[in-house]
A and B are shown apart, each in its own frame.
Chain A
């Protein structure tokens, strides 16, 4: 089993919150990804068995949502918001500057595979632009220098 027994037990508890257990699929995917970093096909099969659906149905859900990953991921995801309010306040320069700083070609993974740099759509922080998200955390009111420092401090 790839999904630990304790996590499976948590998933069963989540299922009880919904009138149909499939309601717990997104919460379960979040939980499992937190544990394993991504949802591999083997993981999807185990989840499918738990939810009594077909593995392809799990993978369809994984692929539909931006926040679920089906392949192994770097330790950190850095997403710079490039939607309009952020762009108006210099977000695209921050993204380009960070790419140069990290040696990434516009968007992608660093050479050591530790950091993924990318852009994202509006994150609900428009007045505090430019901003970026590192994994689960928002960093707001940035400039390129502050953003670079953030990158250097990532463990």
Chain B
């Protein structure tokens, strides 16, 4: 079980309390009251309007407005409708969904109930990454409790609304986090993403209208219902309301989880909350939101952690996985770790992605070995540019961005490898 966050807010307020993982403990903290009120006293349209008004944005990486996504579900359609919870969390540097499952399964389930009622879904499929054996057990326990209490099943809370939850374990494939790769996997197939359109609201799980949301996205929902859209908007920035749970890793004194308002400056997260860089060393670069997001150099850490500000620096919030690297770090080796990952995880359907990830990996490895040529840097940028915006899913873009970011801010590291035919960072981690 993960340690509770060092800094908490409404999502993780009770995470240090073991009892919060039980239905009784969760209810003692006010849990399931928001779902009860939503289901008994509100109309689906009112709920969607409220969530839209709150401005909640998806926390799975793309930041799409949640209420808007829910409103895409067809209402004049007789087919069964499904909700899908994306608990595949495999973006390197991310571990927030894990704690939300381990210590907050009931909170997430309450959000799922509210969402299910709002979009008229009869079932929710929760897809958990296969390696999360323990979080899955925590979730299974919570689902069993909720079912035993009549919070799931034929007649949810005596309202006549029927809803149940199915938990499916993945089996070790990063691409199954992409929502249509996930849907394929859920259907018992290879997790190869689908062409869009049609989007999941029209053709989702088992071909039925579906809404896919992330674990954390669902977890915010009960709080919005309980305290209102205005309250939610009072936290975070004007365009990015609410908190998120930042996961900080790498070269910091106090790695861990920190629930903070969106818009918190990256420097505050790194130097105050995570305790700064140990050993009196200086920071070199920080990846702000999981491996797919371009790195920021030491001079740009003043940026508020919200997409409207991060975009100006050519990066994004992603999953809020903050990876910190000190001055001993070789950025060419960092590139090698990144390109290896994407080469390995490409599902292979699109030529640009399959070939591009392979090429990038080959070139950065050559540079790392000291065998790179001066033109390799431009070849690398050329390959990355060709990988953008032309593929079935955003994986290919996500593979190109971090390499582009490294070359934008740390080109000198690459050039020195080419010039000196060796790595100039004797203290860096080795491959």
- State A93–B89 Cα separation when bound (angstroms): 26
- State A20–B170 Cα separation when bound (angstroms): 17
Closest B residue to A126 using CB positions: B249
- State A61–B130 Cα separation when bound (angstroms): 14
Closest B residue to A22 using CB positions: B188
Excluding A22-B188, A24-B188, A83-B291, 13 further A-B contacts by CB distance (< 8 Å) are A20-B188, A25-B188, A26-B171, A51-B188, A66-B171, A87-B337, A88-B250, A88-B323, A122-B291, A123-B131, A125-B98, A127-B95, A127-B255
B residues 146-197 near A (Cβ < 8 Å) are 166, 168-174, 185-191
| B206 interface hit (Cβ, 8 Å) | yes
Min C-beta distance of A70 to chain B, whole Å: 13
1/0 per residue, CB under 8 A from A, across B109-153: the answer is 000000000000000000001111110000000000000000000
Residue contact B132 to A127, C-beta cutoff 8 Å: no
Closest B residue to A125 using CB positions: B95
One of A64, A67, A121, A138 near B92 (C-beta < 8 A): A121
| B29 interface hit (Cβ, 8 Å) | no
What residues of A have a CB within 8 angstroms of the CB of B206 in the complex? Answer: 18-20, 23
Known contacts A67-B172, A92-B430, A124-B94; A84/B188 CB under 8 A: no
Residue contact B344 to A121, C-beta cutoff 8 Å: yes
What residues of A have a CB within 8 angstroms of the CB of B344 in the complex? Answer: 121
What residues of B have a CB within 8 angstroms of the CB of A89 in the complex? Answer: 249-251
| A117 interface hit (Cβ, 8 Å) | no
21 interchain pairs (CB within 8 A)?
Answer: A18-B166, A22-B189, A26-B171, A26-B185, A30-B130, A61-B188, A64-B191, A65-B130, A67-B172, A83-B93, A84-B250, A84-B334, A84-B337, A85-B93, A89-B250, A124-B94, A127-B247, A127-B248, A128-B2, A137-B134, A138-B134
| B16 interface hit (Cβ, 8 Å) | no
What residues of B have a CB within 8 angstroms of the CB of A83 in the complex? Answer: 92-93, 291, 337, 341
What residues of A have a CB within 8 angstroms of the CB of B94 in the complex? Answer: 122, 124, 126
Residue contact A122 to B168, C-beta cutoff 8 Å: no
One of A65, A120, A129 near B249 (C-beta < 8 A): A129
B residues 196-255 near A (Cβ < 8 Å) are 205-206, 208, 247-251, 255
What residues of A have a CB within 8 angstroms of the CB of B255 in the complex? Answer: 85, 126-129
Closest B residue to A53 using CB positions: B188
Residue contact A65 to B172, C-beta cutoff 8 Å: yes
What residues of B have a CB within 8 angstroms of the CB of A60 in the complex? Answer: 190
| A80 interface hit (Cβ, 8 Å) | no
8 nearest CB pairs, A to B: A25-B188, A66-B172, A65-B171, A85-B249, A126-B249, A127-B255, A122-B92, A22-B188
Residues of A within 8 A of B (CB): 17-20, 22-27, 29-30, 51, 60-61, 64-68, 82-85, 87-90, 92-93, 120-129, 133, 136-138
Residues of B within 8 A of A (CB): 2, 80, 89-95, 97-98, 129-134, 166, 168-174, 185-191, 205-206, 208, 247-251, 255-257, 287, 291, 321, 323, 325, 329, 334, 337-338, 341, 344-345, 429-431
- State A137–B137 Cα separation when bound (angstroms): 12
Closest A residue to B338 using CB positions: A84
Residue contact A124 to B250, C-beta cutoff 8 Å: no
Residue contact B341 to A121, C-beta cutoff 8 Å: yes
Closest B residue to A20 using CB positions: B206
Residue contact A87 to B169, C-beta cutoff 8 Å: no
- State A117–B130 Cα separation when bound (angstroms): 19
- State A17–B147 Cα separation when bound (angstroms): 15
Residue contact A84 to B172, C-beta cutoff 8 Å: no
Min C-beta distance of A92 to chain B, whole Å: 6
Min C-beta distance of A118 to chain B, whole Å: 12
What residues of A have a CB within 8 angstroms of the CB of B257 in the complex? Answer: 127
Min C-beta distance of B116 to chain A, whole Å: 16
Residue contact A23 to B186, C-beta cutoff 8 Å: yes
- State A51–B188 Cα separation when bound (angstroms): 10
What residues of B have a CB within 8 angstroms of the CB of A137 in the complex? Answer: 133-134
Known contacts A66-B171, A66-B173; A90/B91 CB under 8 A: no
Residue contact A85 to B323, C-beta cutoff 8 Å: yes
Residue contact A19 to B250, C-beta cutoff 8 Å: no
Closest B residue to A66 using CB positions: B172
One of B89, B131, B170, B287 near A133 (C-beta < 8 A): B131
Count chain B CB atoms within 10 A of each CB in A17, A89, A121, A137 and give the residue with the most.
Answer: A121
One of B2, B90, B170, B287 near A122 (C-beta < 8 A): B90
What residues of B have a CB within 8 angstroms of the CB of A68 in the complex? Answer: 171
What residues of A have a CB within 8 angstroms of the CB of B205 in the complex? Answer: 19
What residues of B have a CB within 8 angstroms of the CB of A138 in the complex? Answer: 134
Count chain B CB atoms within 10 A of each CB in A26, A87, A127, A133 and give the residue with the most.
Answer: A127
Closest B residue to A138 using CB positions: B134
Residue contact B429 to A61, C-beta cutoff 8 Å: no
